[in-house]
Structure 1
Amino acid sequence: GWLKTFDDYFRDQTQHILNNMVIKLQEDNRRKFMWSEISYFSKWWDGIDGQKKDAVKRLIKDGQFEIVTGGWVMPDEASPHYFALIDQLIEGHQWLEKNLGVKPKSGWAIDPFGHSPTMAYLLKRTGFSNMLIQRVHYSVKKHFATQKTLEFFWRQNWDLGSSTDILCHMMPFYSYDVPHTCGPDPKICCQFDFKRLPGGRVSCPWRVPPEAIHAGNVQHRAWMILDQYRKKSKLFRTKVLLAPLGDDFRYAESSEWDQQYQNYQKLFDYMNSQPEWHVKAQFGTLSDYFEALRKESGLGEKSSNSFFPVLSGDFFTYADRDHHYWSGYFTSRPFYKRLDRVLESYLRAAEILYSLALVQSSKSEKISVFPSVDNYKLLSEARRNLGLFQHHDAITGTSKDWVVVDYGTRLFHSIMNLKKVIIDSAHILILKDKGAYNYDLSTPFLKMDDVQSSQDSLPRKMVIKLTSQPRYLLIYNPTEQERFSVVSVNVNLPRVKLLSPLGKPVTVQISAVWDGATTVSHEAYQVSFVAHLPPLGLGVYQLLEVQSSEAVLANYDIYMRNSRQEKPDKLFKIKEMQNSVDNIILENSYMKLWFSGMSGLLEKINTKEDGKNHQMKVEFSWYGTTSNRDKSGAYLFLPDGDAKVNFLFTE
């Protein structure tokens, strides 16, 4: 979703596009159509009858309908973690394998705001041979066009051979819409977008409308568009040309299918009937294009790649005109960018625990009540919500507010559901007597130590209430390496004892939980300790109240400007630093750090192993925005000049 939510787009446009596709492609076997995102396609598929499904399979088999890329979405290529990029590809491809028995061959990425070699690598490893990209800096496009290098083998920087090469087509012009795909003149190309015929809801901004093709104008109109095709072909190395015919949410109305296909077929028929024009024009899929391109350029399965140049590197940062660099979205809506990573980590942890629990549940009839089917559905839903959020208008932070709330709600619900999967799975795994397992949805066996109340709220640490009877603290290591990690939980009192999974006392530190900058809360205390867990391990620690605790209490040095601490704390030693302090020093057995007493920023590091001092400089700076009409925003970063360094002290 961008201007509408995913479900609203499906209701208003997407389902109608796909319904019309089945009808209109069957009317003429020369017609072709491509589809990319499986999120929409699967939702549509679930609501159609068997007859329509059979028709889709026939259209795919006959080469009229092609799935390109086949990921859950067309993802952004800058903000996501590679885990999520792979996961949404897997989700889409597994759906295709299960429901259609097909595997995509070519990548189609026309709208991400810049392109990453990581995506090229993932597509290559997926088994793709070809890919297409569009949003590249306009100056780069111009340079590539003059050099005829818009088609190239994209190779990874670290590849000394050619094993990562994937054939890539870069679209040469401003956009992927019809006015910018037939050739260099959008005023002419727009006249061949037949949805813009007079009387329709959309028109050409160049104020020259399309004309319906008929016997009286077909020669002139065919020559007009062929001239654009020839000019565009001069930018490439072969005689094979691609001119995509679509745009955002096009073909939702039956009338557009007729307008586009019928008028273009008349143009193609006329061109092909003129042997002196030396042209063969037809509808085609992306695979049709790359197949013809490889044949024309002599690229067989075993031939060399020397016909096309080899390129390594990335296509960031994108600009479509002037100095309009699309780097604003790298930091837009950071709360949801973080929520994406939180869901990602919960998903991986839940998948591993669920798999291990499934093995255990299959070994014993007594634990057949383990909700494996229900929890697998929750895992699938979480994968799909994570995948959906990788879309180039979601994780980027460029959607409208209500669409962002819809995305956030999906992420939040999946986090809640994954916590349930983790709890249910861990329950089985920690029981010595598996026969004692009892699943009760109303009373979960475990609780997570953080609580988040809504999609736009920050998580809060739960306060564990201690008594002389042990509370069990279950810690999970979701990585494949042995871990020594500091774990912190909040408890209701400072007199604490912690026992390891082997029942041995563990050294803990008690730290303050702060109400504001200078006030210590006595409703909660932070307990920190070093947990040691094997790969993919679960460890059960015991926390209990004791009369006399051997825990280490944290000490605090506080520096306050123009205010004083109200009164000494009854538990923690809090020392107020003087205004004239020069440096703040932190030290352990490995290093010594000096911080400015005025700014609190790091200034020097001493590494004790070699005795060397390293001078540091940390600055906080800010950019203004331009005074021009175009401003920095969700997409663009348009500063008014160099960054300005500022120190801001709050009273």
Structure 2
Amino acid sequence: MGLIGTAFALLWLSSAIFANPSCPESPEGMVTVHLVCHTHDDVGWLKTVDQYFYGARNSIQRAGVQYILDSVVDELKKDASRKFSYVESAFLYRWWNQQLPEMQDTFKELVSSGQLELVNGGWCMNDEAAAHYNGIIDQMTLGLAFMNNTFGTDSRPRVAWQIDPFGHAREQASLFAQMGFDGLFFGRLDYNDKDKRWKDNDLEMVWQASESLGEAAWLFTGVLPNGYNPPKGFCFDDLCNDEPIMDDPMLEDYNVDLKVIAFLATVKVQAKAYRSNNIIMTMGSDFMYQNAGTWYKNLDKLIKYVNARQSEGSNVHVVYSTPSCYLDALHSDNITWNTKQDDFFPYASDPHAFWTGYFTSRPALKGYIRKTNAYLQALKQVITLRGMSRDSSLESLAQAMGVAQHHDAITGTAKQHVTDDYVLRLSRASQLSAKGFTAGVRELSTGKVDDQEIFEADPILSSFCPMANISSCTFTETQSDFHVVIYNSIARPLSKYIRIPVPDATAYKVTDYQGNGVVSQLVPIPSSVLDIPYRNSTATQELVFLADQVPALGSATYVVSRTSSLKVMKKLKSTKREIIPGEDTVVHNGAMSLTLDGVTGLLKSVSIFTTEGVKEQQISQNMLWYAGMNGDNSHFGRRASGAYIFRPNGTDPETIGEPEIEVYEGELVNEIHQKYSPWASQVIRLYKGSFYVEVEWMVGPIPIDDDTGKEIIMRYSVADMVTDSTFYTDSNGRETIKRVIDHRDTWTLNVTEPVAGNYYPVTSRILVDSSNDMGSFVVLNDRAQGGSSLNDGEIELMVHRRLLDDDAFGVGEALNETAYNIGLIARGTHLLLHSDFATTDCDFTCQHRLLAEQKLMEPVVIFQEIVDGSPVPAPSSGLNSNLPEQVHLLTLEPWYEEGQYLVRLENMFAAGESDTHSQTVTVDLENLLSLWTLSNIRETVLSANQWLEDSQRLQWNVNESEKAARIG
């Protein structure tokens, strides 16, 4: 994988011409129209992925992917000049496995000849706002591996095809470039941006997607002329109502001349907006080509009759083409292209339709996907460390996670029954692998590597406690004594506070593998959690202890035992602090302190204890809500807030109320329980010695009995911090990108939605940096959310939303999630850091980068019964030595050939962003893994579907003076 920390460099570009023999010619002096026949097949949206594949529940939407592929193959066989482009591997995989060898051979021949082009190649067409780069890379790798393994390396997609995601991330372009793609095409961008680019002939460009990576992250990028739809009047699908080409003059309604004139007029308009004599027209849309014959019969005629006009002086030449053929034609034109350095967020389709609501929609789903990603990485590691091959349990979970990255899945923009299906897939796949995972961790820790059958069927009773998110765990509530096994998937030792739900009136002792006592503490579960209507649990407290220095890629086991000792109980229990009305309350952990306002009960300051004295920052926090705009969407002035769209009714959020406060203190953690209302509460935590503040929020059921949808935010403010209307967000969890309020880099923004129009996706972190020596402040999240800094020194993140109207962009349902017949309850965490917390060994960037890595790669905690006579395993690591702090082990997984494994290492730090950690480091791969003897190491592109030495991407001429003007 390319490292973030490499130096930025300018590229001296070649004008070499690439020739693809399967591509049509572009006659000199002609405007060549590349007709790209395609279908866009959502991996779940209005129907589930399997319903879409089979064509089930057509009362919802007429769509059956299996028929699309059947029909397209039949039509391509009839004429070698016809072409088609296909994207989604999740569907192709299903279809392929149901075909007879004869059909498989035919399909391979079509791919090999270039008639059928595989484009993009991921398991899905992933979202670019809520998806984390770890999930994006995994789903792309999964799909591309299927294509390589099935159709050979010649099938490798060269073009990224992100036609439907609702905004486009700079990091996504960087990842595509590192995967070896030559270009990217997409359909959606802000309507103002598109209008300006259309007028300026700037719809195609070179996206310079990383200052750190330089030319390695440059990617040719094109905006498609009509979204991803056919031009008006030329949709020949059964789903459309456009007239076919009627070319028999002996029959009524002959329309060839009218069709040709209309088409040439469309070409003329489009050609003016693009800089090349090669232009693209997409012929297809959502789930089209179930009857491919209607398309090809009419397109054959269109090509014939339009090209016939050349004898009368027309300079338009129409051909069947593919995205890569079009890209090669542009490359051959040897044009010098403008560049882009920012991204395409937020996306607006009209003055009041900013697609920024989906950054937060369905927060429980977003959190579950992030948690499952951490488990998937751990599972891949454990299988690899045991020297095993890929098995069905890993493949099932990888496929479920691949589907979850889809731009209507992790976004929260599918129908409710489809969302339920996404969750079911993740849950089933996780359960399928659970016993094997627990057995594998135990065998690695004991050094006893048993056979495959034992790995797949662990006989020891264990639990992952899937209801721990509501502080409930049947296993720990009913077992008197049990093991707690913590697996750390980070390539460095990890210290982590573990929280275990347990019943009241019980004392516990915690010991390590040698029987040494481990300090622990009992903390009351917040009353808001205890009051959850569907929570069926006897746990009223959480047992907290520190799992200290859990080895890299390894595990540590602790023993928890009940005891009747009153002395132990007294020592364990937290002390409830008396709150004196009107007086400030101060809570500290030895490293820092929090002050609550005596009148409002809200956080008002944070102090850090340093060798130079106490540094105090006036950091405040509150929970608020925006009223979601109601509307019938009859025109954009009546646009409703919905699953896609965030449109608040007004610019000022409402307060929920002054919180009721309880403070609990103990040896390991001090907690402030704040209850704003029966549906909104939070816990502010200070762990012993920590340099950050943890805020655990819980929201729901959001009340709607007042007929008002509500969008809940957490707002953090640093007093007197001047940030010049500027803040920074991550891009897909990786590099950060600058944001400026009411500003776009490439056009002058007309501010029609002052709140929603300034919201951006926050996948990992959002930070503000002062210009008046007030330092920097960052909030890390545990799932994708929408966020902004609407005022200087302020950060807000939307954590939950419940709305009453659909926003009329296709879902047909209001975003009104329920569970157990009440509004959905969501619970998550934010981590707060200020640059005053930094040390000489680990500066501010170092701290939040490493902490974000820990949030992404949360350790897997397993609870197991104690088997009599078996010793407690000692801590063990799968590494010979720990990786440097800069280096993140992104991937360690078994590959598809026996004895081959895929390793990805990344430098987490961008060039120049950290004084202590933005530097190149060297890793000895040969001696990295303790259980391996490596025979060969060979480097691939990021997606592992091509050897790096074989990757020769197209190079493009760029307008360096134009680039310098934009960033100078």
After TM superposition, the score normalised by the length of structure 1 is 0.84
1:577 corresponds, among 579, 590, 597, to: 579
Aligned to 2:690: none
Q: Distance in 2 between matches of 1:266 and 1:214?
A: 14
Partner of 2:269: 231
Greater Rg over alpha carbons, structure? 1
2:419 paired residue number = 404
Gaps of 5+ in 2: 1-43, 56-63, 532-536, 633-638, 658-675, 679-968
Distance 1:466 1:243, change over 3 A: closer
Equivalenced residues, count: 588
Shift of 1:606: 1.6
Letter in 1 for 2:462: K
Q: Distance in 1 between matches of 2:473 and 2:117?
A: 49
Correspondent of 1:341 among 351, 363, 370: 370
- Report the CA distance between 1:57 and its aligned residue: 1.4
- Which residue identity is paired with 1:350? L
- How far apart in 2 are the matches of 1:523 and 1:325? 43
Deviation at 1:142, TM superposition (A): 1.0
Q: Is the 8 A contact 2:158 2:180 kept in 1?
A: yes
Whether 1:464 aligns to 2:476 is yes
Letter in 1 for 2:261: W
490, 512, 533: which is aligned to 2:550? 533
The Cα shift of 1:240 comes to 0.6
Corresponding letter in the other structure for 1:278: N
By relative contact order (CA 8 Å, sep 6+), the higher-ranking structure is 2
Counterpart amino acid of residue 602 in structure 1: L
Q: Does 1:601 align with 2:643?
A: no
Whole-angstrom CA distance in 1 between matches of 2:109 and 2:47:
32
Aligned to 2:628: 625
Structure (1 or 2) with the greater strand fraction = 2
CA gap 1:619/1:266 in 2 versus in 1, 3 angstroms: same
- Does the Cα contact within 8 Å between 1:595 and 1:601 map onto a contact in 2? yes
Amino acid at match of 1:54: D
Distance 2:401 2:270 in 1: 39
Shift of residue 466 of structure 1? 8.7
Q: Does 1:54 align with 2:71?
A: no
**Amino acid in the other structure paired with 2:561:** L
Pairwise CA distance, 1:276: 2.0
**Larger deviation: 400-409 or 16-25?**
400-409
Which structure 2 residues correspond to residues 343-358 of structure 1 after superposition, within 5 A? 343-358=372-387
- The CA deviation string for residues 244-297 of structure 1, in whole angstroms up to 9 with x for no partner, is 1001111102542344333323334424x4262123211101111011111122
Matches within 5 A, 1:159-174: 159=212, 161-173=214-226
Q: Following TM superposition, by how much is the alpha carbon of 1:67 offset from its aligned partner in structure 2, in angstroms?
A: 0.5
Cα shift at 1:607:
1.6
Whether the 8 Å contact between 1:132 and 1:168 is mirrored in structure 2 is: yes
- In structure 2, the CA distance between the partners of 1:201 and 1:546, relative to structure 1 (3 Å rule), is closer
Which of 331, 341, 357 is residue 294 of structure 1 equivalent to?
331
Does structure 1 retain, via aligned residues, the 8 Å contact 2:438–2:458?
A: no
CA distance in 2 between counterparts of 1:270 and 1:17 reads: 31
* Kept after mapping to 2: 8 A contact 1:347/1:418: no
Conserved? CA contact 2:439–2:455, under 8 Å: no
1:488 maps to 499
Identify if the C-alpha distance between structure 1 residues 255 and 554 changes in structure 2 by more than 3 Å, giving closer, same or farther.
Answer: farther
Percent identity of the aligned residues? 28
Match of 1:642 in 2: 651
Please point out which of 80, 85, 110 is paired with 1:34. Answer: 85
- Do residues 415 (structure 1) and 430 (structure 2) align? yes
- Inter-partner Cα distance in structure 2 for 1:522 and 1:61: 62
Cα distance, 1:502 vs structure 2: 3.4
For 1:611, the equivalent position in structure 2 comes to: 614
1:437 and 1:254 mapped to 2: Cα distance?
A: 47
Q: 2:346 aligns with which of 317, 320, 326?
A: 317
Contact 2:125-2:162 at 8 Å conserved across structures:
yes
| Alignment pair present for 1:478 and 2:489 | yes
Structure 2 counterpart of 1:107, one-letter code: A
Once residues 600 and 238 of structure 1 are traced to their aligned partners in structure 2, the CA distance between those partners, rounded to angstroms, is 63
Write the deviation string for residues 311-332 of structure 1: whole angstroms up to 9, x where unpaired: 1111011111222101111111
| Cα distance in 2, alignment partners of residues 275 and 423 from structure 1 | 75
Contact kept? 2:397, 2:429, Cα under 8 Å = yes
Matched letter for residue 158 of structure 2: K
User: Is structure 2 residue 402 aligned with structure 1 residue 387?
Assistant: yes
Cα distance 1:529–1:159, how it changes in 2: closer, same or farther (>3 A)?
A: closer
Deviation of the 1:588 alpha carbon: 2.2
2:169 maps to 1:116 = yes
**In structure 1, C-alpha distance between the alignment counterparts of 2:323 and 2:451, rounded to whole Å:** 57
Q: Find the counterpart in structure 1 of residue 66 from structure 2.
A: 15
Which of the two has greater helix per residue?
1
Q: Map residues 128-207 of structure 1 onto 2, 5 A cutoff.
A: 128-159=181-212, 161-173=214-226, 175-179=227-231, 189-190=232-233, 192-195=234-237, 202-204=240-242
Q: Which whole-Å CA distance do the structure 1 matches of 2:457 and 2:93 have between them?
A: 33
1:619 and 1:357 map into 2 onto residues whose CA distance is 48
Of 491, 495, 500, which aligns to 2:512? 500
Q: Tell me which residue corresponds to 1:367.
A: none
Question: Cα offset for 1:602?
Answer: 1.1
Alignment-mate amino acid for residue 38 of structure 1: S
Secondary structure of 1:114's counterpart equals: coil
SS of residue in 1 equivalent to 2:399: helix
Q: How does 1:249-264 map to 2 (within 5 A)?
A: 249-264=287-302
1:423-442 matched pairs, under 5 angstroms: 423-434=438-449, 439=454
What is residue 875 of structure 2 aligned with on the other side? none
Q: Which residue of 2 aligns with 1:558?
A: none
The CA RMSD over aligned residues, in Å, is 2.8
C-alpha deviations, 1:385-433, integer Å up to 9, x for none? 1111111111111111211111111122122223233213123223345
- Which secondary structure state, in structure 1, belongs to the residue aligned with residue 510 of structure 2? strand
Residue 71, structure 1, aligned to residue 113, structure 2:
no
Query: Which segment is superposed worse, 611-620 or 394-403?
Result: 611-620
